[in-house]
């Protein structure tokens, strides 16, 4: 348990940050599911339409530090490659 006032404050901050990060990671995962579903259905028009929103959402998570930039870039690259193969 936190002993000092500053440690108690730090614990509160960490809890808030953890909640925010979980929300961001959840949005990332949801965006990935939606775009992968469109790719599995082999609907290129739908996938292209969803790609810009997908890219926006995952980059936001990366920009805020919830996910590593390289991880997000790799995911975007792979999804883009899959869409171009359709």
Give the pLDDT score at 7.
92
The domain in which residue 68 lies consists of: 5-85
Give the pLDDT score at 3.
87
Q: CB–CB of 57/82 below 8 Å?
A: no
Measure the CA angle with vertex 70, ends 17 and 77; round to 5°: 120
Going by C-beta distance under 8 Å and a sequence separation of 6 or more, which residues neighbour residue 31?
53, 54, 57, 58
CATH number where 36 lies: 1.20.58.110
> How many domains would you assign to the chain?
1
CA distance 10 to 45: 47
Give the pLDDT score at 1.
74
Q: Is the pTM of this model over 0.85?
A: no
Closest CA to 60 of 14, 13, 20: 20
Cβ atoms < 10 Å from Cβ of 35: 24
Give the pLDDT score at 8.
92
Rounded mean pLDDT for each run of 10 residues along the chain, 86 residues in total = 89 95 93 93 90 91 90 94 91
């Amino acid at each position: 348990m936190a002993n000092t006032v500053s440690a108690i404050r730090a614990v509160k901050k960490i809890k808030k940050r953890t909640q925010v990060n979980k929300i961001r990671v959840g949005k990332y995962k949801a965006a990935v599911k939606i775009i992968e579903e469109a790719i599995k259905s082999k609907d290129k028009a739908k996938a292209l339409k969803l790609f810009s929103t997908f890219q926006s959402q995952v980059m936001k998570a990366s920009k805020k530090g919830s996910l590593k930039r390289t991880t997000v870039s790799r995911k975007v690259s792979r999804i883009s490659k899959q869409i171009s193969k359709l």
